[in-house]
Structure 1
Amino acid sequence: MLAFPAVNDLPTPPHDVLASIPSPSVSSFSLGPLTIHFYALCILAGIVIAIVLTNHRLTKRGVEEWQVLDIATLAVPMAIIGARIYHVITHYTDYFGPGRNPWNPFEPGSVWAIWEGGIAIFGSLIGGTLGALIMCRRLNIKLTALLDAIAPGLILAQACGRFGNWFNQELFGQPTTLPWGLEIDPNNPAFPPGLPVDTLFHPTFLYEVIWNSLGALVLLWLGRHLFFQWGRLFGMYLVWYGAGRIVWESIRLDPSFVVLGLRTNVWAAIGAVALGVLIIGFQRLRHPEPEESPFIKDREQQTTATD
């Protein structure tokens, strides 16, 4: 069931708030005939950060410098495709229905209009991991080594991408009187009807930026320990990100399908935490020894034979 928060169910804060976080008045700019969206720039900046940090971590383990770019050529497009497909599926009423033409790329609100917002991290994880798996097999790199290397950069990229939601004035939380309440343009289609125009909202984008940035530091620290190899650091990423997402997702106001009283992305976040715990536990039993090489055994044997 697709649930929209009812105005009567939302708290109406008093209007004596002395401080707030303003939202940007623009979400794009023109460069000649092109329209550049800040949302896209935030996503691109996150991708660059993840690639640079992952390259640094992989080369320290003996992988050829910038070989991560070869992996990214497939993993990044598949991550974006997966993110969009997941979003469209979980918000299909936004795209399909009477009077809508979702397949026309020249109309606003089409399934192709990714620049308008609408990608999901859980879908990107599925698509990106599949693309990474294919490229790792081609390059003889262990998927577990790549996932552990990318974990800190990935969660930092997500922090960067959340600023795109700020520019789009979307995915904010419930009304609040806290001094860091977020201002939303009352003419914004996402502004809940019936609330006073000066209502402030929880800046869920900022909560996730802070949580993910802290997570990047934690993962970088944990990554120095041999225990967090064989995919276990990536498992810790799933636990950290999923735990935070459960909280932030629970206070968001954007419509979502609800299953057994919880938003679909809350269930996805719970699944991420559970999967992370399973990865850590399973890999601990399967590989108690250190992961000495990031390469698949065939590559190691070839290297030894060449030497």
Structure 2
Amino acid sequence: MSIALNPIAFNLGPILVHWYGIFIATAVLIAVYLSVKEGRKRGIQPDNIYDMILWALPVAIICARIYYVVFQWSYYSQHLNEIVKIWDGGIAIYGALIGAFVVVFLYCRSKLISVWAMLDVIAPTVIMGQGIGRWGNFMNQEAFGKITSLAFLKSLHLPNFIINQMFIQGFYRQPTFLYESLWDLLGFVLLMNLRQIQGFFKRGEVVLSYVIWYSFGRFFVEGMRTDSLMLFGGIRVSQLLSIILFVGAIGLMIYRRKNDSDLPYYLDGSKLQ
């Protein structure tokens, strides 16, 4: 019998510190550090990034939870006391991204900073944070896939601690958290390197490339999961949104290239535009 890892990292008196929170906090700290470092090069002051994050982070968490609860209302309407229990999981990344985008947009407009320039700076660190955050799902034994066999998991040459943690509800499961984490981290590496190539990305195309990359991978990973948020007719919410974002980002990238001949390159800096 496989023994699952403890989702509780340690206790601080009566406070239980969950691995889920540790992974999220670690992802945020690394993302802020990398964003500040890159922002300096692009003419964005560190204080602007710090101030923006102070607003964006709580809004993102709240929106992520609201998004999840809305699509699971049949359950939470009967368990209202559990709505605030985000430490047990149940936050939707698309909800977080929507909330964070609104904050970034409003903040940048108020400070006369190019919204596109700011999004280009933070986009690679966001997908990096998503990749790290999936390990919080791993510790909570959530965001898993369909039933599979022990032989299949061993054929992937996974370490035993991952295989054991994928024994959920009496069956071995597809490690969809791992698939998405690796996809996200690969996207992070690609974006971090490609945006430093002179003349490669126009302003706004780093974040649009992030949207294209993430939504493409998420569509397929979501199709393997068994805990998807659903719409009527068995439509998976995240798959539908992934299609919309994928097509929309490609269309917007083509439109901007075609209709704005003066569009600056990413490496040109952060002048308002």
- Answer yes or no: is the 8 Å Cα contact 2:60–2:100 preserved in 1: yes
Please give the alpha-carbon distance, in whole angstroms, between the structure 2 residues aligned to 1:29 and 1:93.
Answer: 33
Code of the residue aligned with 1:56 in structure 2: it is: K
Which of 167, 184, 188 is residue 212 of structure 1 equivalent to?
Answer: 184
- Answer yes or no: is the 8 Å Cα contact 1:234–1:276 preserved in 2: no
Which of 223, 232, 250 is residue 195 of structure 2 equivalent to?
Answer: 223
Residue by residue, what CA displacement relative to the aligned partner does 1:83-108 show, whole Å, maximum 9, x if unpaired?
Answer: 111111112122113xx3x1x4xxxx
Structure 2 residue aligned with 1:173:
145
Q: How do residues 123-162 of structure 1 correspond to structure 2 at under 5 angstroms?
A: 123-162=95-134
Tell me if 1:74 matches 2:48. no
Deviates more, 1:284-293 or 1:240-249: 284-293
Deviates more, 1:241-250 or 1:221-230: 221-230
Per the alignment, in what secondary structure is the counterpart of residue 63 of structure 2? helix
Identity of aligned pairs, percent? 33
Code of the residue aligned with 2:71 in structure 1: it is: T
Pair member with larger Rg: 1
Per the alignment, in what secondary structure is the counterpart of residue 35 of structure 1? strand
Structure 2 residue aligned with 1:48:
29
Residue by residue, what CA displacement relative to the aligned partner does 1:276-305 show, whole Å, maximum 9, x if unpaired?
Answer: 2123122213433324341326xxxxxxxx
Structure 1 residue aligned with 2:240:
267
Which of 105, 108, 116 is residue 88 of structure 2 equivalent to?
Answer: 116
Residue by residue, what CA displacement relative to the aligned partner does 1:228-255 show, whole Å, maximum 9, x if unpaired?
Answer: 2321111110111011111111011115
Please give the alpha-carbon distance, in whole angstroms, between the structure 1 residues aligned to 2:260 and 2:25.
Answer: 35
- Answer yes or no: is the 8 Å Cα contact 2:166–2:173 preserved in 1: no
Structure 2 residue aligned with 1:194:
none
Per the alignment, in what secondary structure is the counterpart of residue 5 of structure 2? coil
Pairs aligned (count): 260
5+ long unaligned stretches in structure 2 = none
Residue by residue, what CA displacement relative to the aligned partner does 1:94-128 show, whole Å, maximum 9, x if unpaired?
Answer: 2113xx3x1x4xxxxx2111111111111111100
For the aligned residue pairs, the C-alpha RMSD in angstroms reads 2.2
Tell me if 1:283 matches 2:256. yes
- Answer yes or no: is the 8 Å Cα contact 2:8–2:18 preserved in 1: yes
Structure 2 residue aligned with 1:238:
211
Q: 1:269 to 1:140 in 2, by over 3 A?
A: same
- Answer yes or no: is the 8 Å Cα contact 2:9–2:17 preserved in 1: yes
Please give the alpha-carbon distance, in whole angstroms, between the structure 2 residues aligned to 1:245 and 1:217.
Answer: 17
Please give the alpha-carbon distance, in whole angstroms, between the structure 1 residues aligned to 2:166 and 2:220.
Answer: 25
Q: 1:205 to 1:218 in 2, by over 3 A?
A: same
The structural deviation recorded for 1:259 is 4.3
Per the alignment, in what secondary structure is the counterpart of residue 183 of structure 1? helix
- Answer yes or no: is the 8 Å Cα contact 1:46–1:160 preserved in 2: yes
User: Whose helix proportion is higher, 1 or 2?
Assistant: 2
Please give the alpha-carbon distance, in whole angstroms, between the structure 2 residues aligned to 1:267 and 1:54.
Answer: 30
The structural deviation recorded for 1:170 is 0.8
Please give the alpha-carbon distance, in whole angstroms, between the structure 2 residues aligned to 1:223 and 1:154.
Answer: 15
Structure 2 residue aligned with 1:95:
76
Code of the residue aligned with 2:119 in structure 1: it is: L
Structure 1 residue aligned with 2:17:
36
Structure 2 residue aligned with 1:256:
229
The structural deviation recorded for 1:258 is 4.1
Residue by residue, what CA displacement relative to the aligned partner does 1:37-87 show, whole Å, maximum 9, x if unpaired?
Answer: 111111111111211111111111122234310111111111111111111
Structure 2 residue aligned with 1:203:
175
Please give the alpha-carbon distance, in whole angstroms, between the structure 1 residues aligned to 2:8 and 2:225.
Answer: 21
Which of 25, 32, 42 is residue 6 of structure 2 equivalent to?
Answer: 25
Task: Return the TM-score normalized by structure 1.
Answer: 0.78
5+ long unaligned stretches in structure 1 = 1-19, 105-109, 192-196, 298-307
Please give the alpha-carbon distance, in whole angstroms, between the structure 2 residues aligned to 1:217 and 1:140.
Answer: 30
